[in-house]
Structure 1
Amino acid sequence: MTSLAHWQQRAAELKIEGRAFIDGAYVDAKSGATRATVNPADGVEIAQIASCGPEDAELAVQVARRTYESGVWSEMAPAERKKVLVRFADLIEQNLEEIALLESIDAGKPISDTLHVDVPSAVNTIRWNGEAIDKVYDEIAPTAEHELGLVTRMALGVVVAIVPWNFPLSTTAWKLGPSLAAGNSVILKPASNTPLTAIRLAGLAKEAGLPDGVLNVLPGPGGSLGSALALHMDVDCLTFTGSTEVGKTLTEYSGQSNLKRTFLELGGKSPNIVFADADLDKAAEAAALAIYYNQGETCTAGSRLLVEKSIADEFIAKVKAAAAVFKPGHPQDPATRMGALIDAAQLRTVEHYVAKGLEEGGELVCGGKTSAVADGGHYYEPTIIRNVKNSDTIAQEEIFGPVLAVIEFDGEDEAVQIANDSIYGLAAGIWTNNFGRAHRMAKKVRAGSVWVNNYFGGDITVPFGGFKQSGNGRDKSLHALDKYSELKSSWFDLS
């Protein structure tokens, strides 16, 4: 295992590209404006990044449209697109350590996670979509002998992908894999505070053979740049992962412009439900992982722990013991399990919610304060608050931090009622050794992903997305290809 000093030295030696990527080349923002990206671990500036605006959005859309209409990518044989995407995945894999380090210093994520989870996941996503595209067939309708009905899948055109700061690389791969495989031209707007891996990937895509103009990367603020892209009349599709509030605004922009296809993966307040007959040791370790992984900055975080009353004291004690493993540490230390929150504003948000939870009657089991890991960094201890009512603020609003709200229940019916009493419906965990109960609960809990006797289960082969205000559409699996495709029906009279 390498050391903190090793990774800090590697970080100091990085040659960081901070420009936008348009039409196959790295370029400055037209205004010349830049914005600092800062390491959440210590508050130190990493690099100055191009701060693109509406004029850059206009150029990128023109380039993407021209490239799409040229057919250089959209009309390329699927087997040839596959080769390029597989090479793209290979190049990401070959640059594993560099990309993992960029993700760690930019987002505050533990280097052990970016090395072993984030980058391998991105590689697998892009490779899988590349391999899949020449295996997805069009259809022939069952017609009369003198007629022929064809159903063909066509690329949408120009896709804008806006990705979040909590999983910049993984989410980017979820968008790029199927949208590029389907033949679209893509404009990628990374979160303004985590642009590094997106910018780096653009160069690797070109090296892999992706034609110029097919992938364009615009770092910049969501307010001016994001709205310019979302309102543009020549953008065919907008895919977004982020907050529910922003998702609603982007949906309005679609209606105000050209009704561009818009699909969203938004917030969550996921219930993790533990029955008395579960394997409590396994469930407790998973409950800690469910909320403290990625500093709790996870849309699917199991932030509501629903525990059957008869085992509440015993189980909460087990979760508290498991939480100790997630003591905050420097993100570039390979031993760290929980790194730094993204910035000071997010740290203040977490502090506000903890105070609110205690004010509304919650009991602090552990944590509840900042952690002094490194000067200038934003660290918060793994926190558990029990005696929470589902109507309490910390049970209803997404905190996006390492704060677990514990709610007790009696029986399946009450567990379902509490679990579904939320504006969100992204994910849920169910822990029981009762086979029938597992199936009943999995059907009744309204969530896009339900994990039984595990948490964060699944891979690229199953779709991911939410119910209710957790969004619409789906990332991952062959279903994602549908979101980036149009179906055309062609009817031929053969008589």
Structure 2
Amino acid sequence: MFEYAPAPESRSVVELDSSYGLFIDGAFEAAKDGATFKTVNPATEEVLAEVATAGPEDVDRAVAAARHAYGAWSALPGAERAKYLFRIARIIQERSRELAVLESLDNGKPIKESRDVDLPLVAAHFFYYAGWADKLPYAGFGPDPKPIGVAAQVIPWNFPLLMLAWKVAPALATGNTVVLKPAETTPLSALFFADVCRQAELPPGVVNIVTGAGDTGAYLVAHPDVDKVAFTGSTEVGREIARTVAGTGKRLTLELGGKAANIVFDDAPLDQAVEGIVNGIFFNQGHVCCAGSRLLVQENIAEELLASLKRRMGTLRVGDPLDKNTDIGAINSAAQLARITELSEIGAAEGAERWSPACQLPERGFWFAPTIFTGVTQAHRIAREEIFGPVLSVLTFRTPAEAVEKANNTPYGLSAGIWSEKGSRILAVADKLRAGVVWANTFNKFDPASPFGGYKESGYGREGGRHGLEAYLA
């Protein structure tokens, strides 16, 4: 393995304030009751900033601001709304280095991922939906589709700015206004996005950002003047939201958990498959709802593939997220680390064989070594439950029918991967998989023009592409 000299990205490109307020009606302001929480750098446990906690009164003000702005915003011609979206996209590109460093500081993901994956995709989503804003009559949703109204959007901590873009861009393109609640552990990039909105001269109230924990999200989702709820996060919270909005007439889209199968057939290009497996489960520390957390490998190549996979895992560098050589950064929070640790210990206790490469973990912060479990059965909890960390469960199969049966034997249905040199086999197997997205000889590839979403306990509705407009049109 090469010895790499440290190559840290400079923190000086980001100027952090000691405290941040709520972004309501185009201005930052303190919470009515003065409540705050701290956001920390998961790699060092250093406090980055103090952030306002929105209570019911604050949520009321944010929703009222969005409702007030809705009339003028929805009445704008699509081409005029598009200009704002294009402007936001360009400002994001101009400030991408600053935003990438901020995202890695607050989230713990490696800078090369936030710089080379997250930020380009964030800008691409705004560019893509800017292009749709004046073409809505041709989108296939009727000759004169109308916006719904005020959208409440609750996003997770694993891709803070990208999940914001997935939700905000189509909402604005279609003429809706937004109240967004970012995750409690990663509020900073959303608050910097508020500044991007001001820089783009977006009319006040079109985008409002309320920060806080689960209570703030619950107030927002239950607010009587919200017309549409969009949530990405855990299946458990998704169920609670579905119960809250049932019978209210609010539109709802949910993008929830996953336990994706990455299926490797014996004719697959093995080196390419190993890269896909690593990308599928160790990208973003495994904090990916569509992560390939179950590897299904054809029995006759299992030994060869695992030897190659272990060799490749031995080259992964775990450490400082701001170092450009880092492959695996910090786990986002102490609570998430505890869950990953607990499920991994259960996996070992249930009889699966655990393996991690030798790696030195930093003393401060939240860290977990990349891990694989072999000898896993369908009955193991690590094969059924979403771990949401850098942990891979390996199962084997003999026939395509068995692979399909095992892949579908899960309450989730968000994504899957197939590795084979035969196009006919890929298409035949993909057709039988109950997953919203199926990748062929690749994994974790995203494009703003391509719809994303799940079946079963992975939620309903689609984000991205033309399909992503539908959730925001009446």
Q: Given the alignment, which residue of 332, 345, 354 partners 1:342?
A: 332
The structure-2 alpha-carbon separation of the partners of 1:60 and 1:177, relative to structure 1 and needing over 3 Å to count, comes to same
Aligned counterparts of 1:165 and 1:477: Cα–Cα separation in 2? 23
| Residue 272 (1) aligns with residue 262 (2) | yes
Aligned counterparts, 1:224-243, within 5 A:
224-243=215-234
> Amino acid of the residue matched to residue 238 of structure 1?
V
Q: Given the alignment, which residue of 271, 279, 285 partners 1:281?
A: 271
Aligned counterparts, 1:47-446, within 5 A:
47-68=49-70, 71-137=71-137, 151-222=143-214, 224-255=215-246, 258-367=248-357, 371-373=360-362, 375-446=363-434
Contact 2:258 2:386 survives alignment (8 Å): yes
> Amino acid of the residue matched to residue 35 of structure 1?
F
Aligned counterparts of 1:114 and 1:120: Cα–Cα separation in 2? 9
What residue is the counterpart of 1:45 in the other structure? 47
Aligned counterparts of 1:448 and 1:43: Cα–Cα separation in 2? 36
Aligned counterparts of 1:50 and 1:138: Cα–Cα separation in 2? 42
Contact 1:292 1:326 survives alignment (8 Å): no
Contact 2:17 2:49 survives alignment (8 Å): no
Contact 1:138 1:152 survives alignment (8 Å): no
The structure-2 alpha-carbon separation of the partners of 1:6 and 1:283, relative to structure 1 and needing over 3 Å to count, comes to closer
The structure-2 alpha-carbon separation of the partners of 1:428 and 1:139, relative to structure 1 and needing over 3 Å to count, comes to closer
What residue is the counterpart of 1:30 in the other structure? 32
Contact 1:126 1:173 survives alignment (8 Å): yes
What is the CA-CA distance between 1:285 and the residue it aligns to?
Answer: 1.3
What is the CA-CA distance between 1:463 and the residue it aligns to?
Answer: 0.2
Task: Summarize deviations over 1:156-204 as a string: whole Å, max 9, x none.
Answer: 0000110000000111000011001111110010001100011111121
Contact 2:279 2:444 survives alignment (8 Å): no
Task: Summarize deviations over 1:286-321 as a string: whole Å, max 9, x none.
Answer: 101110000011101100000110011110111112
What is the CA-CA distance between 1:7 and the residue it aligns to?
Answer: 2.0
Query: Is 2-11 or 393-402 further displaced after alignment?
Result: 2-11
What residue is the counterpart of 1:491 in the other structure? none
The structure-2 alpha-carbon separation of the partners of 1:480 and 1:242, relative to structure 1 and needing over 3 Å to count, comes to same
> Amino acid of the residue matched to residue 240 of structure 1?
F
Aligned counterparts of 1:435 and 1:101: Cα–Cα separation in 2? 40
Q: Secondary structure in 2 aligned to 1:327?
A: coil
Q: Secondary structure in 2 aligned to 1:333?
A: coil
Q: Given the alignment, which residue of 7, 22, 27 partners 2:10?
A: 7
Contact 2:137 2:143 survives alignment (8 Å): no
Q: Secondary structure in 2 aligned to 1:137?
A: helix
What residue is the counterpart of 2:469 in the other structure? 481
The structure-2 alpha-carbon separation of the partners of 1:3 and 1:23, relative to structure 1 and needing over 3 Å to count, comes to farther
> Amino acid of the residue matched to residue 468 of structure 1?
K
Aligned counterparts of 1:351 and 1:430: Cα–Cα separation in 2? 29
Q: Secondary structure in 1 aligned to 2:117?
A: helix
The structure-2 alpha-carbon separation of the partners of 1:138 and 1:404, relative to structure 1 and needing over 3 Å to count, comes to closer
Aligned counterparts of 1:19 and 1:2: Cα–Cα separation in 2? 39
Q: Secondary structure in 1 aligned to 2:322?
A: coil
Aligned counterparts of 1:294 and 1:55: Cα–Cα separation in 2? 36
Contact 1:17 1:200 survives alignment (8 Å): no
Aligned counterparts of 1:356 and 1:370: Cα–Cα separation in 2? 22
What is the CA-CA distance between 1:361 and the residue it aligns to?
Answer: 1.4
What is the CA-CA distance between 1:250 and the residue it aligns to?
Answer: 0.3
Aligned counterparts of 1:140 and 1:320: Cα–Cα separation in 2? 48
Q: Which 4+ residue blocks in structure 1 deviate beyond 6 angstroms?
A: none
Contact 1:231 1:253 survives alignment (8 Å): yes
> Amino acid of the residue matched to residue 108 of structure 1?
G
What is the CA-CA distance between 1:3 and the residue it aligns to?
Answer: 5.9
What is the CA-CA distance between 1:139 and the residue it aligns to?
Answer: 9.0
- For the pair shown, the structure with the greater C-alpha radius of gyration is 1
Task: Summarize deviations over 1:399-432 as a string: whole Å, max 9, x none.
Answer: 0010000001111010000000000000000011
What is the CA-CA distance between 1:96 and the residue it aligns to?
Answer: 1.1
Q: Secondary structure in 1 aligned to 2:289?
A: coil
What is the CA-CA distance between 1:16 and the residue it aligns to?
Answer: 6.3
Aligned counterparts of 1:205 and 1:155: Cα–Cα separation in 2? 20
Q: Secondary structure in 2 aligned to 1:424?
A: coil
Aligned counterparts of 2:206 and 2:19: Cα–Cα separation in 1? 19
Contact 1:17 1:196 survives alignment (8 Å): no
Aligned counterparts of 1:234 and 1:326: Cα–Cα separation in 2? 49
Q: Which structure 2 segments of 5+ residues have no match?
A: none
Contact 1:72 1:211 survives alignment (8 Å): no
Aligned counterparts of 2:135 and 2:6: Cα–Cα separation in 1? 44
> Amino acid of the residue matched to residue 190 of structure 1?
P
CA RMSD of superposed structures (Å): 1.9
Q: Secondary structure in 2 aligned to 1:385?
A: strand
Contact 2:43 2:365 survives alignment (8 Å): yes
What is the CA-CA distance between 1:227 and the residue it aligns to?
Answer: 1.0
Count of matched residue positions in the alignment of Structure 1 and Structure 2: 471
The structure-2 alpha-carbon separation of the partners of 1:383 and 1:140, relative to structure 1 and needing over 3 Å to count, comes to closer
Q: Secondary structure in 1 aligned to 2:258?
A: coil
> Amino acid of the residue matched to residue 355 of structure 1?
E
Aligned counterparts of 1:239 and 1:327: Cα–Cα separation in 2? 36
What is the CA-CA distance between 1:437 and the residue it aligns to?
Answer: 1.2
Contact 2:229 2:253 survives alignment (8 Å): yes
The structure-2 alpha-carbon separation of the partners of 1:371 and 1:158, relative to structure 1 and needing over 3 Å to count, comes to farther
Aligned counterparts of 2:235 and 2:359: Cα–Cα separation in 1? 27
Contact 1:86 1:126 survives alignment (8 Å): yes
Contact 1:138 1:153 survives alignment (8 Å): no
What is the CA-CA distance between 1:129 and the residue it aligns to?
Answer: 0.3
What is the CA-CA distance between 1:17 and the residue it aligns to?
Answer: 6.0
Task: Summarize deviations over 1:234-289 as a string: whole Å, max 9, x none.
Answer: 10000000000000000001016x23111100000000000101101110111011
Aligned counterparts of 1:199 and 1:421: Cα–Cα separation in 2? 40
Contact 1:271 1:303 survives alignment (8 Å): yes
Task: Summarize deviations over 1:38-80 as a string: whole Å, max 9, x none.
Answer: 0001101000001111111111111111211xx2211101000
> Amino acid of the residue matched to residue 36 of structure 2?
T
What residue is the counterpart of 1:490 in the other structure? none
Aligned counterparts of 2:236 and 2:373: Cα–Cα separation in 1? 26
Q: Which structure 1 segments of 5+ residues have no match?
A: 142-149, 487-495
Q: Secondary structure in 2 aligned to 1:73?
A: helix
Aligned counterparts of 2:219 and 2:140: Cα–Cα separation in 1? 40
